[in-house]
Amino acid sequence: MNEHINFDFGRTNRTGIPEVIYAEGKEEPIVLKLLEDFALNTEHPIMFTRLSPSVFRRLSPEFQSKYSFDALAKTAYSNQIPKKVNGRVAIVSAGTSDGFVTWEAKRTLDYLNVKSEVFEDCGVSGLWRLQEKLSQINSFDIIITVAGMEAALVSVLAGLTSKPIIGVPTSIGYGVCKGGQTALNSMLACCAPGVAAVNIDNGFGAACMAYKTLLSCKGSTK
């Protein structure tokens, strides 16, 4: 085999984030080998993202049982990080089609031992859906907002809350949605301040941003 990976188990100390493996684009035998190796490694927590269900299911049942796997979020993790991060994150999404991103964020926060709650289907085409959950959402420390198409949810929410918003544009939509580019631009052009965005469909990245923020500002407890 022509390759070798430099694992970075010191990363947790340096950046606060444990090793995570992005499975997409890696050849299937390599991913399976990694899944097996880490299943036997009980010392380090590990998470796989963008892990296709069809690949995961090729793993033997014993190995599968070592992981918490979610087919919609395409994530598998062996065990959570030991320390519990203070603070709570609301994940607000525009529609159920955005679910693959919404739940990647949720699952990543679970793995990172951050308390969070999901509020799905709050898109502004029916404003009442957002408004009836607003006071609840406002009780969280950080809001992750997941939206595709024109992502107007972010602008509206930013004008209604004093909480920071991490926007995750999704690739949901067609034509001028341009694979999420319009949602991303809308979030960045948002006229209400207090919004920052991550890459398209990057629920994992939004969760890490929320985690690092809470770790830095609110600390953790063993």
Pick out residues in 148-207 that bind a copy of itself (CB under 8 A). Answer: 149-152, 154-156, 158-164, 166-167, 169, 171-202, 204-206
CA dist 78 to 52, 74, 165, 167, 202, Å? 16, 14, 29, 28, 21
Binding to a copy of itself by residue 73, rule CB under 8 A?
Answer: yes
Angle among Cα 118, 165, 120 to the nearest 5 degrees reads 25
Mark the segment that binds a copy of itself (CB under 8 A) among 35-43, 61-69, 75-83, 145-153.
145-153
Min dist. Cβ of residue 62 to a copy of itself (A): 26
Among 99, 109, 116, 137, contact with a copy of itself (rule: CB under 8 A): 99
Min dist. Cβ of residue 78 to a copy of itself (A): 18
Mark the segment that binds a copy of itself (CB under 8 A) among 36-44, 58-66, 74-82, 147-155.
147-155
CA dist 79 to 22, 66, 112, Å? 17, 9, 9
CA dist 192 to 122, 132, 165, 205, 221, Å? 18, 21, 11, 22, 34
Binding to a copy of itself by residue 46, rule CB under 8 A?
Answer: no
Binding to a copy of itself by residue 213, rule CB under 8 A?
Answer: yes
Min dist. Cβ of residue 201 to a copy of itself (A): 6
With beta carbons less than 8 A apart as the criterion, state whether 214 and 79 touch.
Answer: no
Min dist. Cβ of residue 37 to a copy of itself (A): 14
Calpha distance 156→10 (Å, rounded): 41
Pick from 120, 78, 104: which is nearest to 210 by CA? 104
Among 11, 33, 57, 84, contact with a copy of itself (rule: CB under 8 A): 11
Among 8, 82, 83, 115, contact with a copy of itself (rule: CB under 8 A): 8
Helix (H) or strand (E) holding 107: helix 99-111
Total of chain residues touching a copy of itself, rule CB under 8 A: 103
Binding to a copy of itself by residue 31, rule CB under 8 A?
Answer: no
Residues in contact with 97: Cβ distance below 8 Å, sequence separation at least 6, in sequence order: 148, 170, 172
Cα torsion at 107, 112, 118, 121 (round to 10°)?
A: -50
| Closer residue to a copy of itself, CB minimum distance, 58 or 178 | 178
Q: Which two tokens stand for residue 10?
A: 């010191």
Min dist. Cβ of residue 47 to a copy of itself (A): 11
